Structure 1
Amino acid sequence: MSNVSNSHRVLQELVSLEAWHKPLEPNTDSPFRVALSFRDARYSGDAETPIEFQVELKRATLVVVCDSNLRVPKGTKVRVYPPWEKSYRRIQGDTRDQSASSSDRLSTSVTADSIKGPAGSVSTEHGRSGSESHERRTETEYTQVIRQHIQMQYRQSGDEHHWDCDPINAETLRGSAHTGDDPVMELRPTIDRRLEDLGVRVFLKCKAEDFDIKDIRMKKTVMEQLAGEDMERRKRLAKEVIKYKLAEVDLEVVDLESSFGEVVIADIVAIPEK
C-alpha cells in the first residue's frame, strides 16, 4: 500500500479535485471554493492481468461535509453551475385579413415558464376595424446557451451538501466542472475559538455502473484466440484494475460488479488559504 496522505486521496488519472477557503474568523463568512475537472484515464494491469483500457465517468456527485460548528448560510449555496445564459431574438410582422367584420381587439400573452421549446415569450395582438383587419405580431424567441460541457446541480442530503455532475450533450464527463474562480458557498463559524480545528471534508463519488470502460486491449492466449472475443470477461478484468488503482491511493475498494454500489474516487480535506 502506498503512503498517500490521508487528507488527499484522489484517483488522479480520472479526476482532479481541490478545495480551499479563507481563514475562518468569528461572525464572518469565508468563501469556500472547489476546483473539479474530469478526463479520460488509460489504465493497464500487471503481468498477471495483461490488459489496458480507457475509462471515463458517466456522472458523479461532489459531496461537502462541514464540521458541526460551521454553518452554511442558505443564500450562499450555488444551486446550478454554470447558470444558463439566454440569447433573445425578436420577430415583428404585419398581416392583413379581409374577411373580418366589426371592431374588436384580442391580446394574448404567454410567459417563458409555460412554453416548452426554444420560444421564450410570445405576445400577439390583433386589431380589427370594419371589413379590413391589420394584425401585428411580435414574438420573442430565446435559446439557452451553456459555456461548458458539465452541469452541477445542488441538493442537500441531511447535513451534507451535494452537487450532481452530469454531462451536457455528451455521454461522459470530460473537462472542467468548476474552476474555483467563484465560491460554491460560504462558511460561518458558530464558535469563536479554536477555529483552526474546524474542518471541511470533500468527496467525489459515483455508482459502479458509472464507469464507462472501453477500448479494451489485452494479450490473448491461444485458447482465447480460438474461442473469440469475451467482452464480459474483459470488463471484469478492467474492473479489477480499477479496484487496484483505488487501493493504491488508499480509497475504499468496493464490489464494482454491483451496479448501484457507491465508489468514492476522491477524498480530500479543504485547506485554508495562506
Structure 2
Amino acid sequence: MLTIKAYAKINLALDVRHKRSDGYHEVAMIMQAVSLADTIALTSQPAGIDLSVNTPGLAADANNLAYRAATLLKEYSKTGQGVLIHLEKQIPLAAGLAGGSADAAAVLKGLNQLWELNLSLDELSKLAAKLGSDVPFCLYNGTMLATGRGEILAPLPPLPACYVILAKPAVEVPTAWVYGQFKANEVSVRPDIAAMCECLTEENLAGVADHLGNVLESVTIPVYPEIAKIKKYMMEYGAMAALMSGSGPTVFGLSDCGAQAERIAEQLKARGVPEVFVAKTVSKVE
C-alpha cells in the first residue's frame, strides 16, 4: 500500500481574459499550494479500479476525478494492474481549493510509483491536463504562474513561509457557473501579476499581501455576500490580507504569526463560519 497527500491550492492572483475557441477562458494566475490536504491510500490488486471515500455524497465512481485519473493512467500505460483507492477528504467540496484536482494529481503520482511506470512529471502533466485545468499544478505544488487555461506552468520563487487561514461559508459555488457569468469587459481592476512576481522574487510577504487580487470576486460576491463578510472579519481580526480563492466561496487570509492565525480562525468559528482551517504554505514538490 502507498499513502500520498493531495494538497489544496489558493490563488494569490487570478486574472481572466478572453474566452477561447475551445470554450475555456484564457487566464493568468499565481497559484500556491497549502498544507490542508486529502489523504489517498493506494493498494495493489490484480485487476480493476475500485474507489472508496469517507465523505457522504461524494461520488465513488467515474464521476470522481481520482477514479478518472486512475482509469486514464491505466489506459495510457496499458498496464494490467489494478488498484483499490481509498480517499480521506479534508479539503472542503466545491470550495475553490482544487480538492478534486489535487486528488487526481495524487493518484497519478502515486500510481506511477505503485505500478512502477517510471513516467516523468512532465509526462504525467500532459495526462493531468486532460482531467482538468488545475490538475497539472497539483502535480508540482509550490508557487507557480499558470497561463493558458491554467495548464501552462512556470515555477516562481516560493511564497515566504506563512500561515493561511481558510474559511468556507455554508454554500457551494459551481466553477462553470462563475466562468459562465464572468464578463471581462466589465472588470475595471485586475491583479498586477508582474508586481506579484517581483514581490515573490524579493521574498516580500507584505508586498504579496498588498497585491492579492481575483477578478472572479466580481461574479461570486454579489450573489454570495457572506464571502465579503468573511473577508471583512479576517481583516478586522488582523490578517495581512484576505481574498476569495478560485471561483469561491472559500476565503483565505495570510498571517506571519501562527498564534495570530489560530486566533483569527477561532474568531471566525465564533462568527458561525462552518469550516475553518489554519494551514501553512507548501513550497516544494512533495
TM-score, normalization: structure 2?
0.27
- Greater RCO structure (CA 8 Å; 6+ sep): 1
- Higher gyration radius (CA): 1
Structure 1-normalised TM-score? 0.28
